[in-house]
């Protein structure tokens, strides 16, 4: 069962908005890079564990769900498939090159984008005056409000020790399954049909979101993520079916295994941050909550000088169960 979205154009979303905008760092996880796994001792300090529902692994308040060792991959992962930014930039000018002044403006825009200025979104921004045809699209699992609030609280506890990280606003948090890149609007119907078929043989399932980590390492974090500790097998199965279904429409297959994770933020200038590393170790036991995954969403990403704006185009239901977003 698929539901298409109609009505007025999207607007910028605030944290907690039920319209379910996509993460402001969507596409920042470019390059399908592998993560490295490393072990670590129990933390000496716990800068973020005093927040709601956070605890050290193995503490006495309730049984620990996570190991006290630090795994730099999202829980259940071998290597992480990150969504690429994709999409070629249009060329302009007599030789396919913009005028010199436009080149300087484009370079400044790219520098601002790499620094994560203003919004914390690190996708390559579209250069002003250079229109991109089609829809920038990706497939995602959207998070419940309660989970986004808990992750947002964890972000606030990390913010003082990671001022160089561009954080995702809580209302934009989601779990990316596949990035499609630029898609002609006329193909959306075929994509929704393919996603409907992929989802029909997967039953709705429960997922648990817990723990924080970093790619490529805690000591030199570039991407901060929240993990998934239950429901990973079903997510991997669904992602594989989505990948295969869209390959039938000509989309490239993902070369690396899918590993569920939620991107929280991206370092503007990756480097050593011992205080942040210690905070992430202390947050290994953070529980963000359980949710029922009853569908997947086709999302639209729109880039602007003020950042990215995400709109849910359609939702497909798992195993015939009605999706939780109507």
- Residues annotated as catalytic (active site), given as ranges: 174, 261
Which of helix, strand or coil describes residue 120?
Answer: coil
Phi, psi (degrees; rounded to nearest 5) at 24: -70, -10
Crossing angle of helices 274-282 and 145-158, in 10° steps, is 140
DSSP 283-294: TTT-EEEEEEE-
Widest pairwise Cα distance in the chain: 70
DSSP 6-40: -SSPP-PPPTT-TT-PPPTTTT-STT-PPPP----
CA 308, CA 12: separation in Å to the nearest integer? 9
**Both structure tokens of 149:** 């609030």
């Amino acid at each position: 069962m698929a539901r298409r979205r109609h009505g007025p154009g999207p607007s910028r979303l605030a944290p907690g908005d039920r319209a379910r905008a996509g993460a402001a760092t969507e596409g920042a996880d470019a390059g399908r890079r592998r993560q490295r796994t490393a072990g670590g001792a129990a933390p000496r300090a716990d800068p973020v564990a005093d927040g709601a529902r956070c605890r050290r692994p193995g503490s006495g308040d309730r049984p620990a769900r996570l190991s006290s060792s630090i795994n730099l991959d999202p829980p259940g992962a071998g290597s992480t498939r990150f969504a690429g930014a994709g999409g070629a930039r249009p060329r302009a000018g007599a030789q396919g090159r913009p005028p010199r002044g436009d080149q300087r403006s484009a370079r400044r825009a790219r520098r601002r984008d790499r620094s994560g200025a203003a919004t914390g979104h690190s996708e390559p921004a579209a250069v002003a005056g250079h229109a991109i045809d089609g829809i920038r699209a990706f497939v995602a699992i959207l998070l419940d409000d309660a989970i986004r609030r808990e992750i947002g609280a964890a972000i606030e506890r990390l913010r003082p020790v990671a001022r160089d990280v561009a954080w995702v606003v809580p209302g934009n948090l989601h779990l990316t399954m596949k990035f499609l890149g630029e898609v002609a609007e006329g193909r959306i119907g075929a994509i929704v049909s393919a996603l409907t078929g992929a989802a029909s043989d997967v039953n709705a399932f429960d997922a648990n979101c817990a723990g924080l980590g970093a790619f490529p390492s805690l000591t030199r974090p570039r991407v901060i993520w929240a993990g998934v500790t239950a429901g990973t097998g079903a997510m991997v199965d669904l992602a594989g079916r989505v990948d295969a279904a869209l390959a039938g429409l000509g989309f490239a297959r993902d070369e690396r295994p899918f590993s569920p994770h939620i991107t929280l933020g991206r370092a503007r200038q990756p480097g050593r941050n011992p205080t942040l590393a210690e905070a992430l170790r202390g947050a290994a036991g953070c529980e963000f909550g359980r949710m029922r995954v009853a569908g997947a969403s086709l999302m639209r990403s729109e880039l602007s000088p003020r950042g990215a704006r995400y709109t849910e185009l359609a939702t497909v239901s798992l195993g015939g169960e009605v999706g939780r977003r109507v």
